[in-house]
A and B are shown apart, each in its own frame.
Chain A
């Protein structure tokens, strides 16, 4: 599903009390089936951008469109609900929102609200459980009795069970141990590839960006400062310096070595494999 932002502005209004624009005139286009990372400093407006995508934050000006649905400042409830069915949103620390008595009920909550039939729901619950790498024996358990990583998976299952065309995630790996984090991100990538969905991932970890994402969108002070392919961005050191973003570990190490030897590698290494190959070929010598 294609996503468009057309000169979108937004702020956090408290009743009549306005704040400054936290999304400040953003125009962008996210093509179908892309896996896009959103990165940027704290407070840049990443979470706010995600909220705009499913109408939890309404633009004060401009429009956001998801496929043929458009959200503007008047945001009709009907449209919003349709948008929300299309856009599955996984909040930061989604496990804090678990509430049902059993895992099964929790996962079924979304599909029920969006009007799936009983049979469909049973099937969706099973399917999404499998997709997040859990087994059915967990279904009758209370979500509160699970470990951190399991809770996170259940929460994600509850979102993908509604069969969204667009999946939006706010730092889904935060607070998980390295294994747990890697499993979840790899699972998301598989899900993306097998379902042809459009995925948007907010993350601080550049290693995740290079490992799992195709495109990257950098935000700064409510604006998009660049939107391009991951490799394109990290191949351009000037651009990275200008944007003030961090490097993935392999590239950071490559730069350190280059600084040390004064010799530039023939290729930019984004993954451990690439760096290893270059070093084996003697790029640093």
Chain B
């Protein structure tokens, strides 16, 4: 439970931490989009190095990022395998029914793998270096134009921030319930599947009850503190745009240029 990194904030003082949340969010989304246009190994090498550079700049140890990938690694490998097996072309090494392992397939598999890893790395950079509140504010700010169309942007942002509030809460609560169970002799992660499932019941029940209770009480607090959906409210968090933020976005343009050049010259 404690090893879940994606979505956690890691307080630190670095260039990346100091960037404006809007700049980071836009850059990260753009970067992820860009990944889908790369179709050459060299392009992946470039964006890979870029990602490593950004990770280095956060002053957070590499092991933290690696741990963030670990829970998802099987999923990624599975996706990459599928791509390998279902893609033909180039030199064919093995062929079995609808499945083939070909040189083309291996490349595509590798690209898929890289793409997933880089997506996770860059989103981890985003969440580790940006306070959840800043992130929701950034989303709020970026969606602002939609408000003219009658989209409840503020509600959406608050909903998001509450979910961000709720997830660590839920994890902490789980921890607390599990601690109480451990103190009463439950050993987690041991025994047969059935036994392990049985151990979940005394966790899930209090967790369910307390989550319901929590949701209800939080709603009460919001109510009493006069939160009204759709109504104008001021913002305590102020986002400020610096030159470094513009530079970050310019780097995205630069990266795009590199990707385009690689794609068209190396075919």
Contacts and interface: CB of A to CB of B under 8 A. Distances in A.
Interface of A: 13-17, 51, 54, 56, 77, 80-81, 84-85, 87-89, 91, 94, 96-100, 109-110, 112-114, 158-159, 162
B202 interface: yes
A3 to B, nearest CB: 16
Contacts of B179: 51, 56, 91
B184 A15 contact: no
A113 B210 CA distance: 24
B35 interface: no
Given A77-B187, A84-B183, A162-B184, A15 B3 contact: yes
B2 A110 contact: no
Contacts of A162: 184-185
A15 B187 contact: no
B186 A113 contact: yes
A151 to B, nearest CB: 13
A280 B184 CA distance: 50
B187 A17 contact: no
Interface stretch (B4-12, B16-24, B76-84, B229-237): B4-12
B206 A114 contact: no
A56 B211 CA distance: 22
Nearest to B188: A77
Interface of B: 2-5, 8, 10, 61, 63-64, 67, 176-177, 179-187, 190, 201-202, 205-206, 210
A81 B185 contact: yes
Given A16-B64, A16-B67, A100-B202, A94 B180 contact: yes
Give the one of A15, A54, A84 with max B CB within 10 A.
A15
A91 B180 contact: yes
Contacts, number: 68
A113 B206 contact: no
Nearest to B183: A89
A109 B10 contact: no
Contacts of B2: 13-15
Given A15-B67, A113-B187, 15 more contacts: A14-B2, A15-B4, A15-B64, A16-B5, A16-B63, A16-B67, A17-B64, A81-B187, A84-B184, A91-B183, A96-B206, A97-B180, A99-B201, A110-B184, A114-B185
B202 A109 contact: yes
A80 B189 CA distance: 14
Nearest to B63: A16
B64 A56 contact: no
A14 B185 contact: no
Nearest to A78: B187
B10 A110 contact: no
A100 B183 CA distance: 16
Nearest 6 pairs between A and B by C-beta? A113-B185, A110-B184, A89-B183, A97-B180, A114-B185, A99-B205
B5 A98 contact: no
Contacts of B63: 16
Contacts of B3: 15
B143 to A, nearest CB: 30
Nearest to A88: B183
Nearest to B187: A81
A14 B184 contact: no
B6 to A, nearest CB: 10
Given A96-B206, A97-B177, A109-B202, A15 B183 contact: no
A17 B210 contact: no
Contacts of A88: 183
A97 B202 CA distance: 9
Contacts of A80: 182
Contacts of B205: 99
B115 to A, nearest CB: 24
The residue among B181, B183, B202 with the most chain A CB atoms within 10 A of its own CB is B183
Nearest to A109: B184
A277 B262 CA distance: 94
A98 B190 CA distance: 23
Contact of B8 (A15, A81, A89, A100): A15
Nearest to A80: B182
Given A15-B2, A15-B4, A15-B64, A99 B183 contact: no
Contacts of A99: 201-202, 205-206
Contacts of A91: 176, 179-180, 183
A51 B179 CA distance: 9
A159 B181 CA distance: 11
A197 to B, nearest CB: 16
B8 A17 contact: yes
A162 B10 CA distance: 40
6 contacts: A84-B184, A88-B183, A97-B181, A99-B205, A100-B202, A110-B184
